[in-house]
Amino acid sequence: MTKTLRHSLTVAAAVLLTAAPVWAAMPILEDSAEVDRLNAQVNSAGVGTITVRRCDQCAEETMRIREATKLYLGRDLLPLAKLRDYLGKGATVVFKPDEPEVVRIRLWRPAPGE
C-alpha cells in the first residue's frame, strides 16, 4: 500500500470515528411506513385516522390525519379531501415518531380514471 493511500485511509477513518457520536445524537424527526392498501376513516375534508404498520412484524397502529397533513401524488400536492379517492391504494405514510400524527401521505398510483 502506498504511503499516500495509507494516509488517506487513516484520515478517512479518523473523520468517521469522530463524527460517529454526532450521528448517534441526531434526533429522528420523521418516520415512515409503506402501506399496500390505504386503510383510513376520514370525513369529506380528509381528516380522520389511518391504520399503519411500522414493519411487517409490528402491530397495527392508528394515527391521526389532521388538516395540516399533506397529500401528494408524485410531486403534485393534492387537496386532503381527495384522500377518499385513493383508499385501498398503496402509499407511503410519513409520521412523527413520538406521536401518532401523520405529516404527509405520498400516493403510489393514480386513482381510477385519472
Domain boundaries, the chain: 31-107
The domain defined by 31-107 carries CATH number 2.60.40: no
46 contacts: CB under 8 Å, gap ≥ 6: 65, 69, 71, 79, 80, 81, 82, 83, 84
Q: State the Rg of the chain over Cα.
A: 20
Cβ–Cβ < 8 Å for 106, 91: yes
- The whole model's pTM is what? 0.73
Lowest-pLDDT range of 10-14, 54-58, 107-111: 10-14
Residue-wise pLDDT tens digits, 19-49:
666 556 677 788 999 999 999 999 988 899 9
